[in-house]
Amino acid sequence: SLLMKRKLFLYNFKNLRWAKGRRETYLCYVVKRRDSATSCSLDFGYLRNQMGCHVEVLFLRYIAAWDLDPGRCYRITWFTSWSPCYDCAQHVASFLRSYPNLTLRIFTARLYFCEDRKAEPEGLRRLHKAGAQIAIMTFKDFFYCWNTFVENKEQAFKGWEGLHENSVHLTRKLRRILLPLYEVDDLRDAFKTLGL
């Protein structure tokens, strides 16, 4: 099936602050080609880590095999259960530099941090600097994923307790990570950016 099972989505994409036991990363994707003012959907689906290979690398291998037309513009949107690790962020940043006609938007349910807590934030900063737009998933993103990638059997998406609060918390955390890349005119704007 092209669609993810409901329980699989809810378990892996729940934006808990401490997501114990959730070791796999799932990546839902949409690939579009932009033709002037319109866009055309080319593909959508989902992937997960396989045999020690992270899902971001699997997707890059998949899309590289397409032999993208350098004269056309493409937009890829990812919805991921975890943000990329440092190594994957490096691979994706390098890929984006090789394909200037491609834009990538990443919406992530949770931020991934390994033992070296400085590596992942640096990876996210480099990925952002390479042109990737990175954001935390909100209710509307979970709703979109539920209706696009999940075998929902016509059931409406119901947010879980803490979805909004966790999304706000993670958004603030991501802003603090990416803050050096933002231009902040004065101290008031800086406090607003941090959510203070």
- Candidates 56, 120, 161, 165; catalytic one: 56
Which helix (H) or strand (E) segment is 122 a member of?
A: helix 119-129
Nearest alpha carbon to residue 110 among 18, 11, 5, 8: 18
Which helix (H) or strand (E) segment is 140 a member of?
A: helix 139-149
Which tokens go with 196? 């203070």
- What is the C-alpha to C-alpha distance for residues 43 and 145, in angstroms, rounded to an integer? 15
- Which DSSP category does 85 fall into? P
Intra-chain end-to-end CA distance of the chain, in Å:
45
Active site residue 165: no
Contact 16, 166 (CB under 8 A): yes
Alpha helices in 42-186 (DSSP H): 55-64, 86-98, 119-129, 139-149, 163-178
Which tokens go with 188? 């008031």
Tell me the catalytic residues: 56
